């Protein structure tokens, strides 16, 4: 496992700088090496969880520019990829996991697009990334998902909720740190229309993400099996809970509240902090054959801020990311959160089956499997 990779997460410096229209273009030529000489991965993404009638809905929509001109991690040359993971499950199933159908687009070899299928255009007040009809429209502090993919039509609006998180650093520093970008929480409303149903989201929430990472990010090398990377978040009013497990030995998290108050937690944060994330139930997934984690306990504490919640999944979707050095599984879990959040301002927030996004990414195949062990490299 790459020590440099982990150290970058320990060195995160939180920033609340505003997102500008200039931030919303492509930035892969801002890395230390030109795109013709390196590998990189630049992502524009929008996530949402919410309700529509009698259903709970989770949507992850993302577009990627991928380069493989260094070690060849992401295939050949510079290409584009789009991804949809859409889960729709009845509310009545909250707290219990069972097999569910889901819509998935992207990450199979036949779906990879040539770069000319991506059109990035700038107007006076917006920047649009158009992945062959699936459009990510940025007009910060508002974003939109429009167009179609996988037979589904999208018309969703994402409005910024609180200050952004520049945990990967500003795009201007991409050449120095080999990564950059932001996440920001959002309120979401709009429609998703599939051949099976029409979904009206009126009270959704989620995240807007735009990040780039260069040659140093080889996900199979940095996060070999059996490590799990987990990311979950939940929002109730002005309170946002975020947990991120980088690998099995390193966990970070935060609670944001008010205008821009933030309390951080980390497994490396010292004796005044504690953080724990424990799988408490697994389910045999008939599609993947995995003994899939579906219930968890999350506890975080730093001074007067405490999080003690139980999380339960009731729907899943997944993709497999093929790279030159192996394959990663990226799985979203439509979940609920139940428990208490105590804030330094004296408030106690009780959650009861509150909709929550959980997800994991892990290596499921290493290309260099040998009798001497797994090696994240191209087979000889």
pLDDT digits (tens, 9 = 90+) for 69-87: 998 999 889 999 999 999 9
Tokens describing residue 33: 């090496």
Please report which confidence band the pLDDT of residue 6 belongs to, taking 50, 70 and 90 as the band edges: low
Using DSSP, state whether 222 is helix, strand or coil: helix
What is the structure's pLDDT at 75?
A: 87
Q: Is the pLDDT of residue 319 over 80?
A: yes
d(CA 174, CA 66): 16
pLDDT value at 187 more than 80: yes
163 DSSP β-pair partners: none
Structure tokens at 311: 């999380």
Give the chain's mean pLDDT. 93
Domain boundaries, the chain: 3-367
Q: Give 165-186 pLDDT, tens digit per residue.
A: 998 899 999 999 899 999 999 9
**pLDDT for res 296:** 98
In DSSP terms, 114 is beta-bridged to 79
Task: Kindly report the number of other CB atoms within 10 A of residue 211's CB atom.
Answer: 20
From the number of C-beta atoms within 10 Å of its C-beta (0-12, 13-18, 19+), residue 100 rates as: middle
Q: What percent of the chain has pLDDT over 90?
A: 85
pLDDT digits (tens, 9 = 90+) for 284-317: 999 999 999 999 999 999 999 999 999 999 999 9
**Neighbouring C-alpha atoms within 13 Å toward the C-beta of 206:** 29
Nearest to 112 by CA among 144, 68, 145: 68
- Six-digit token pair at 333? 């879990």
Contacts for 77 with CB less than 8 Å, ≥ 6 apart = 67, 68, 69, 115
pLDDT in tens, 229-251: 999 999 999 999 999 999 999 99
Q: Which residues pair with 83 in a beta bridge?
A: 62
CA distance 145 to 158: 8
What pLDDT, on the 0 to 100 scale, is given for residue 2?
52
At residue 36, does pLDDT exceed 60?
A: yes
Instruction: Count CB neighbours of 124 within 10 A.
Output: 6
Q: Give 337-341's long-range contacts (Cβ < 8 A, gap of 24+).
A: 337/234, 337/241, 337/309, 337/310, 337/311, 338/309, 338/310, 338/311, 338/312, 339/307, 339/308, 339/309, 339/310, 340/306, 340/307, 340/308, 340/309, 341/236, 341/239, 341/241, 341/255, 341/306, 341/307, 341/309
Contact 331, 192 (CB under 8 A): no
Residue 188, pLDDT above cutoff 80: yes
The predicted pLDDT at position 78 comes to 96
Per-residue pLDDT at 4 = 58
pLDDT digits (tens, 9 = 90+) for 271-282: 889 999 999 999
pLDDT of 271 reads 81
Cis peptide before 193 (omega within 30 of 0): no
Torsion sign, CA atoms 324, 333, 192, 41: negative
What's the rounded Cα separation, in Å, for the pair 12 and 140? Answer: 24
What's the token pair of residue 134?
């699936």
In this prediction, residues 317-334 reach a mean pLDDT of 96
Residue 8 pLDDT greater than 60, yes or no = no
**16 or 193, greater pLDDT:** 193
- Assign 258 a pLDDT band (cuts: 50, 70, 90): very high
Position 227 scores a pLDDT of: 95
> pLDDT per residue over 126-170, tens digit each?
999 999 999 999 999 999 999 999 999 999 999 999 999 998 899
Identify the band that residue 5 occupies on the pLDDT scale cut at 50, 70 and 90.
low
pLDDT of residue 216: 86
Residue from 167, 181, 332, 182 nearest 252 by CA:
167
């Amino acid at each position: 496992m790459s020590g440099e990779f982990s150290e970058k997460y320990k060195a995160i410096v939180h920033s609340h700088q505003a997102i500008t229209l200039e931030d919303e273009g492509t930035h892969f030529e801002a890395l230390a090496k030109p795109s013709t000489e390196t590998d990189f991965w630049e992502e524009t993404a929008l996530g949402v969880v919410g309700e529509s009638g009698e259903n709970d809905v989770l949507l992850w929509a993302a577009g990627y520019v991928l380069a493989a001109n260094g070690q060849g991690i992401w295939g050949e040359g510079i290409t584009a990829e789009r991804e949809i993971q859409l889960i729709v499950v009845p509310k009545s199933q909250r707290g219990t996991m069972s097999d569910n159908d889901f819509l998935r687009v992207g990450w199979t070899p036949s779906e990879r697009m040539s770069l000319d299928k991506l059109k990035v255009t700038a107007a006076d007040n917006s920047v649009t990334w158009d992945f062959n009809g699936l459009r990510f429209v940025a007009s910060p502090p508002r974003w939109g998902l429009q167009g179609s993919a996988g037979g589904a039509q999208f018309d969703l609006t994402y409005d910024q909720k609180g200050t952004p998180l520049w945990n990967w650093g500003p795009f201007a520093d991409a050449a120095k740190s080999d990564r950059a970008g932001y996440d920001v929480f959002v309120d979401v409303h709009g429609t998703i229309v599939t051949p099976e149903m029409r979904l009206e989201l009126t009270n959704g929430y989620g995240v807007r993400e735009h990040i780039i990472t260069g040659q140093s990010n080889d996900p199979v090398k940095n996060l070999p099996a059996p490590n799990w990377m987990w990311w979950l978040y939940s929002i109730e009013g002005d309170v946002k809970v975020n947990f991120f497990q980088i690998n099995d030995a390193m966990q970070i998290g935060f609670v944001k509240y008010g205008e821009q108050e933030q309390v951080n937690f980390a497994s490396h944060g010292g004796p005044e902090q504690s953080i724990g994330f424990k799988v408490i139930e697994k389910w045999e997934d008939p599609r993947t054959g995995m003994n899939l984690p579906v219930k968890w306990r999350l506890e975080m504490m730093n001074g007067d801020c405490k999080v003690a919640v139980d999380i339960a999944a009731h729907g899943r979707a997944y993709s497999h990311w093929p790279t030159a050095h192996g394959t990663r599984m990226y799985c979203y879990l439509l979940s609920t959160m139940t428990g208490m959040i105590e804030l330094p301002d004296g408030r106690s927030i009780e959650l009861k089956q509150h909709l929550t996004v959980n997800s994991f990414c892990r290596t499921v195949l290493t290309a260099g499997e040998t009798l001497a062990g797994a090696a994240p490299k191209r087979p000889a």
